[in-house]
């Protein structure tokens, strides 16, 4: 199975899951939450994820003998981190809208809110 999905990871699937999804994904989720709590625009979260993806590529390079300057694998890491970061931002924003503006909005699911 290691070579079947080699388009997603460079060295091994466990390395991709551990570094990109668990370590950097946790940081991306927390960054998305912080961006939502600070009422930052979405483009600012994208800037943070670009930097986090570069740090993730460095960890792949330094610890697991991955390539440092691979644009393809950088894009894979960036897409995964953007998705996780925006999920964290949206969950926090839905909670904010339902709690801070309780008079106007109700929460409708983990990602959305609706007008009362």
63-77 pLDDT per residue, tens:
988 888 889 999 999
Q: Do the Cβ atoms of 31 and 24 come closer than 8 Å?
A: no
Say if 94 falls within a structural domain: yes
| Beta bridge partners of residue 105, listed in sequence order | 115
Contact 33, 92 (CB under 8 A): yes
| pLDDT tier for residue 1 given thresholds of 50, 70 and 90 | very low
- pLDDT of 61 > 70? The answer is yes
Q: How many domains does the chain have?
A: 1
In a domain, 5, yes or no: no
Residue 107, domain member (yes or no): yes
Give the predicted TM-score (pTM) of the model. Answer: 0.87
Q: Is residue 8 part of a domain?
A: no
Residue 69's domain spans which residues? 13-115
In a domain, 2, yes or no: no
Strands 113-115 and 105-107: antiparallel
Please give the share of the chain, as a percent, with pLDDT higher than 90.
59
Q: What is the mean pLDDT of residues 6-13?
A: 76
Alpha-carbon distance of 26 to 41, in angstroms, equals 20
Q: State the DSSP H helix or E strand holding residue 26, giving kind and residue range, or none if neither.
A: helix 25-37
């Amino acid at each position: 199975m290691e070579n079947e999905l080699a388009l997603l990871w460079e060295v091994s699937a466990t390395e991709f899951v551990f570094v990109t999804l668990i370590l950097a994904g946790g940081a991306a989720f927390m960054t998305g939450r912080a961006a939502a709590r600070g009422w930052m625009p979405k483009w600012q979260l994208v800037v943070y994820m670009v930097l986090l993806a570069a740090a993730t590529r460095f960890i792949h390079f330094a610890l697991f003998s991955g390539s440092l300057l691979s644009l393809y694998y950088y894009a894979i890491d960036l897409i995964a981190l953007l998705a996780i970061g925006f999920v964290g931002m949206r969950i926090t924003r839905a909670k904010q809208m339902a709690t801070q503006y309780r008079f106007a909005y109700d929460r409708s699911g983990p990602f959305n809110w609706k007008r009362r």
